[in-house]
Amino acid sequence: MPASSVKEMAVIGAGTMGAGIAYTAAVNGIDVFQIDVADTALDRARSYHAKTFDRSVQKQRLAAEDAKAAAARITYTASMAEAKTAGWVVEAATEAVDLKKKIFGQMAEVFAPGVVLATNTSSISITDIAAAVPDRAERVIGMHFFNPVPVMKLVEVIRGLATTDATVTETIALAERMGKTAIPANDRAGFVSNRVLMPMINEAFYAWMEGVAEPEHIDEIMKLGCNFPMGPLRLADFIGLDVCHDIMMVLHRELGQDKYFPCPKLRQLVVAGRLGDKTGGGVYASG
Ligand code: NAD
């Protein structure tokens, strides 16, 4: 397979995932526009990048001059238009189908025809998102990274109904250039990873709500008993409780079974604004 020749990438959304994708692209020699509508998110991404570059140098994963060069490759902006020269776009905004469709409509206006419009959605149908840009649907694809992006090796690659073979091939090549292993999954809600993971996390909230055990014990049992590196409630704090909730809502709506309805305990924390590590507390008091 030919190596990816992407020079400039736009990453839309500077939250947990967008910041990680931008960092990983920059470290692998790609110029990045990190875009977000919220200044606070851009500031957080900037400080996350500074910290992550520092840590990589300390741990000798990156030479100091390479870290400096990679940091200089990232431009932070609230304007999608500023990124119009980019040859690849990854959308990593909030997990809401209407929002993503709106953003894809804007992307189709800003970026040149032929540019791949990828989404990092965890659960929403790629075909559904592509329907917002019917003239560009063959270049729309799911490029699902995992958290934390600089560390996690997997990219789940999901083609929509109209996605071409060329788009898939280029996506796999780019994922590999970013140091990842690309594995295909079909376009059903949650794909493979979240179809399996999220109901388990949701069930852990039920176990907590029903008093089967306290969160610490639920997590320790799953760690020691199932050899998980992290218990499901701790993982939920790490992912973001709002993200877990939104994914369950998509599974519920698309797969049409009650078992996918978000646990009331999960909903309660989300409504209270306790979203996990990103807000300084979720299931646990701090991340
Ligand atoms: P997040 O809440 O940390 O960040 C989302 C960002 O999108 C916010 O900063 C928000 O300001 C921004 N945003 C909202 N509307 C926007 C717009 N119109 N233009 C630009 N930016 C906009 O969420 P996240 O955890 O980074 O998740 C982002 C996407 O990645 C979601 O689709 C999610 O399902 C997916 N995902 C999340 C994880 C995870 O572990 N958190 C893993 C894989 C995939």
User: How far is 154 from 176, CA to CA, in rounded Å?
Assistant: 10
Catalytic-residue membership of 156: yes
Q: If DSSP codes are grouped into helix, strand and coil, which group holds residue 80? A: coil
Could you tell me if 104 and 49 lie in one domain?
yes
CATH number of residue 254's parent domain: 1.10.1040.50
Reply yes or no on whether the pLDDT at 287 is more than 60: no
The single residue of 8, 91, 95, 156 carrying the catalytic annotation is 156
CATH number of residue 54's parent domain: 3.40.50.720
Could you tell me if 67 and 94 lie in one domain?
yes
Give pLDDT, residue 135.
97
Return the closest-CA partner of residue 205 out of 220, 219, 192, 189. Answer: 219
Could you tell me if 8 and 63 lie in one domain?
yes
Give pLDDT, residue 98.
96
Could you tell me if 10 and 134 lie in one domain?
yes
User: How far is 191 from 172, CA to CA, in rounded Å?
Assistant: 17
Reply yes or no on whether the pLDDT at 9 is more than 80: yes
Could you tell me if 56 and 177 lie in one domain?
yes
Residue 191 lies inside a defined structural domain of this protein = no
Reply yes or no on whether the pLDDT at 49 is more than 80: yes
Could you tell me if 221 and 89 lie in one domain?
no
Could you tell me if 244 and 266 lie in one domain?
yes
Atom of ligand 1 nearest to the CA of 102: 18
The single residue of 8, 95, 144, 202 carrying the catalytic annotation is 144
Give pLDDT, residue 260.
97
Q: Which of 185, 209, 228 is the last residue of a domain?
A: 185
Read off the pLDDT band of 32 (50, 70, 90).
Answer: very high
DSSP strand pairing (140-145 vs 154-159): antiparallel
Mean pLDDT of the region 101-123: 97
The single residue of 4, 120, 123, 194 carrying the catalytic annotation is 194
Which residue segment(s) compose the domain that 268 sits in? 196-279
Give pLDDT, residue 2.
76
Catalytic-residue membership of 122: yes
77 sits in which H/E element: strand 74-77
Residue 190 lies inside a defined structural domain of this protein = no
Instruction: Write out pLDDT tens, residues 172-207.
Output: 999 999 999 999 999 999 999 999 999 999 999 999
**Contact assessment for residue 33 and residue 11, using Cβ atoms and an 8 Å cutoff:** yes
User: What's the predicted TM-score (pTM) here?
Assistant: 0.93
Kindly give the residue spans of alpha helices, DSSP state H, lying in the chain: 16-27, 39-58, 64-72, 97-110, 126-130, 165-177, 193-209, 215-226, 232-239, 241-255, 264-271
Q: How many domains does the chain have?
A: 2
Atom of ligand 1 nearest to the CA of 35: 20
Atom of ligand 1 nearest to the CA of 243: 34
Q: Which of 185, 216, 250 is the last residue of a domain?
A: 185
Could you tell me if 36 and 159 lie in one domain?
yes
